[in-house]
Homo-oligomer: A and B are copies of this chain.
Amino acid sequence: MREVKAFAPATVANVAAGFDVLGFALDSPGDELTAKFSDQHGVRISRITGDDGRLPLDSRKNTAGVAVHALLNHIGETRGIELLLDKKMPLGSGLGSSAASAVVAVVAVNALLGEPLSKRDLLPFALEGERIACGSAHADNAAPSLLGGFVLIRSYTPLDIVPLPMPEKLHATVVHPHIEIQTKDARGILKQQVSLSNAITQWGNTAGLVAGILMSDYGLISRSLQDVIVEPIRSILIPRFYEMKQAALDAGALGCSISGSGPSLFALSDSMETAHAVARAMTLVLDNIGIGSDAFISKVNQTGAKVLSIA
């Protein structure tokens, strides 16, 4: 085996009340990465496309590179490895771009090395990569990108990852307004104290959302897609947030909130048709104020990162 190409999906983290603990994966978009053995020592990123030159090629500073370094250190692998990363999603958009790059890199390299580790065991190395990009590692992007579906991060110390069997019909709409928010900034504006009363509302909704997913109860999912703590603050950074949200609900979405740390919004629907209608309604709001946007419409992905080809 000389060369492995892999894919890792974009993800929606901070799913409404599930701030920091709940994320899900999209069928598309996602990152692709090719990993090859190289005669040069160490880890070398020889090409990045789709990033407009914004990501560092230095493998010690790049999300994908750091994740691979961590993996190779862990298993004691010393052969030289070359990475070619094709970014196929917008950066800084709230779609888990850093996490997808870290995940696709460890999945490709693990396959290149003959799968010394199980898929699930790759997560800590992907998180090492994400730590570089975001200042801290929030597994609610990396875990669903790796494993697919909805994933609950019950705890960070120790890391406790709970993939949630989920209903068939969940479709996601993600609308990415063409503005940019840094994860660090979006985190900085959050209040470090919250009222007990709001916190109770939030954990009622987190629990309700998880129950709705596990019981395939779309009505409960819909009623639980509420965030009284983070959305009211972060939505300030997103022009016409509440208009877009209302447009999504009017178009039949089960719920709508901020994707990751924004500026993208996500909506969930119970059919592909509704997910498309929701996308049209949301982007129209941005069109009307002259802000461009991309819309991604996708089933909620159930498989996560995967190897595309081995040569």
Bound-state Cα–Cα, A164 to B210, Å: 11
Determine how close the nearest CB of chain B comes to the CB of A164; give it in whole angstroms.
6
- Contact present for B162 and A200 (CB under 8 Å): no
Residues 179-237 (chain A) with a chain B CB within 8 angstroms: 190-197, 199-211, 214-215, 220, 223-224, 229
Determine how close the nearest CB of chain B comes to the CB of A187; give it in whole angstroms.
10
Among the stretches A39-47, A124-132, A151-159, the one at the interface with B is A151-159
Bound-state Cα–Cα, A197 to B190, Å: 11
- Contact present for B160 and A223 (CB under 8 Å): yes
- Contact present for B153 and A204 (CB under 8 Å): yes
The answer to whether A17 has its CB under 8 Å from any CB of chain B is yes
Query: What chain B residues lie within 8 Å of A210 (beta carbons)?
Result: 207, 210-211, 214
The answer to whether A13 has its CB under 8 Å from any CB of chain B is no
The answer to whether A99 has its CB under 8 Å from any CB of chain B is no
Query: What chain B residues lie within 8 Å of A204 (beta carbons)?
Result: 20-21, 152-155, 206
Bound-state Cα–Cα, A205 to B202, Å: 12
The answer to whether A103 has its CB under 8 Å from any CB of chain B is no
- From B164, B206, B215, give the contact of A203 (CB < 8 A): B206
- Contact present for B18 and A223 (CB under 8 Å): no
Query: What chain B residues lie within 8 Å of A165 (beta carbons)?
Result: 215
Interface 1/0 per residue, A1-29 and B, CB below 8 Å: 00000000000000001111110000000
Query: What chain B residues lie within 8 Å of A214 (beta carbons)?
Result: 210-211, 214-215
Query: What chain B residues lie within 8 Å of A196 (beta carbons)?
Result: 190-194, 229
Query: What chain B residues lie within 8 Å of A207 (beta carbons)?
Result: 18, 21-22, 152, 154, 203, 206-207, 209-210
Determine how close the nearest CB of chain B comes to the CB of A103; give it in whole angstroms.
21
- Contact present for A203 and B160 (CB under 8 Å): no
Interface 1/0 per residue, A137-175 and B, CB below 8 Å: 000000000000000111100001010110000000000
**Known A196-B194, A202-B203; contact A211-B162, beta-carbon cutoff 8 A:** yes
- From B164, B195, B201, B203, give the contact of A192 (CB < 8 A): B195
**Which residue in chain B gives the minimum CB-CB distance to A158?**
B223
**Known A162-B208, A162-B211, A208-B162; contact A203-B17, beta-carbon cutoff 8 A:** yes
Determine how close the nearest CB of chain B comes to the CB of A213; give it in whole angstroms.
9
Query: What chain B residues lie within 8 Å of A21 (beta carbons)?
Result: 200, 203-204, 207
Determine how close the nearest CB of chain B comes to the CB of A106; give it in whole angstroms.
24
- Which residues of A are in contact with B by a Cβ distance under 8 Å? 17-22, 152-155, 160, 162, 164-165, 190-197, 199-211, 214-215, 220, 223-224, 229
Which 5 pairs show the lowest CB-CB distances between chains A and B?
A: A154-B208, A203-B203, A203-B206, A214-B214, A199-B199
24 examples of A-B residue contacts, CB within 8 angstroms? A19-B200, A20-B204, A21-B204, A22-B207, A154-B204, A154-B205, A154-B207, A154-B211, A155-B201, A155-B205, A155-B208, A160-B208, A162-B208, A162-B211, A162-B220, A164-B211, A192-B195, A199-B199, A203-B206, A204-B206, A206-B206, A206-B207, A210-B211, A214-B215
